[in-house]
Amino acid sequence: MKEKGLLIVLSGPSGTGKGTICKALLKKNKFNLSVSATTRNSRNGEVDGESYYFLTKDQFLEKIEKDDFLEYAEVYGNYYGTPKSNVMEKVQNGEDVILEIDIQGALKVKEAYKEGVFIFILPPSMEELKNRIRGRGSETPESLMTRFKSAYKEISFISKYNYAVINDTVENAVSKIESILIAERCRADRVEQKIYNSQEGIINEQFND
């Protein structure tokens, strides 16, 4: 059996910088970023099929019916979901996959796959969070307040995660996440699995390094 890849789940309040961090991580690392489906309108510069699959509510509901999602949730008044699209097959096949999803979705994934690496992204302060959402220019004053108020509730779920990373600078946040992933790959239970999967291989690999 092949060594499994990591299922990396990034969550945190809107505007903390998850999307920005993911982009920076993908520039330097070979991860599969899962593209979610959503019923929200696309923002300036967002590309269908790259940022999200933008669906109508009817299309989304049809996909729920067909059991096409690994998880889905209603977030800030719109539906968001992770298409199954071989996410778990990729992980089983040794590839790392990143999901950038909300807390409800992350908890559903954790229930089904607790070996995932669950990382919570925090803003350096609530004031900075508000500035970032405002600075992105994507929200109406009402939706900005919805997202900002939800942030307090969302942060209370931090203890459900394995790691918490403050996104002060993108560079720092990316480097902390890369360190987390290095540590995860060295976890005794993962290495033990690797030993059992390839008896001779790992021993040769270690002594030849």
User: Which residues would be at the binding site for ligand 5GP (CB under 6 A)?
Assistant: 14, 18, 36, 40, 71, 73, 75-76, 80-82, 100-102, 104-105
Give the shortest CB-21-to-ligand ADP separation in angstroms. 7
Counts of helices then strands in the chain (DSSP H, E): 9, 9
Using CB distances below 5 to 8 A depending on partner kind, what does residue 105 bind out of ligand 5GP, ligand ADP, none? ligand 5GP
How many Cα neighbours within 13 Å face the side chain of 168?
3
Distance in angstroms (rounded) separating the CA atoms of residues 184 and 166 = 19
Residue 5 or 19: which CB sits closer to ligand ADP?
19
169 binds ligand ADP (CB under 6 A): yes
20 binds, among ligand ADP, ligand 5GP, none (CB under 5 to 8 A by kind): ligand ADP
* For ligand 5GP, the closer CB: 8 or 73: 73
Point out the residue whose Cβ comes nearest to ligand ADP. Answer: 17
Among 78, 135, 187, 196, binds ligand ADP (CB under 6 A): 135
Select from ligand 5GP, ligand ADP, none the partner in contact with residue 93, using the beta carbon and a kind-dependent cut-off of 5 to 8 Å: none
Q: Is 136 in the site for ligand ADP (CB under 6 A)?
A: yes
Is residue 119 within 8 Å of 52, Cβ to Cβ?
A: no
SS3 sequence of 25-57: HHHHCCCEECCCEECCCCCCCCCECCCEEECCH
134 phi and psi angles, rounded to 5 deg: -65, -45
Residue 76 near residue 14, CB atoms below 8 Å: yes
Tell me 13's DSSP state.
S
Distance set, CA 37 to CA 81, 83, 194 (Å): 5, 7, 34
Total interface residues for ligand ADP by CB under 6 A: 13
Q: Judged by CB under 6 A, which stretch of 16-24, 28-36, 108-116, 200-208 contacts ligand ADP?
A: 16-24
- Could you give the CA distance from residue 135 to residue 203 in angstroms, rounded to a whole number? 52
Pick from 63, 167, 177, 181: which binds ligand ADP (CB under 6 A)?
167
CA distance 29 to 16: 21
Shorter beta-carbon distance to ligand 5GP: residue 40 or 110:
40
Positions touching ligand ADP (CB under 6 A) are: 14-20, 132, 135-136, 167, 169-170
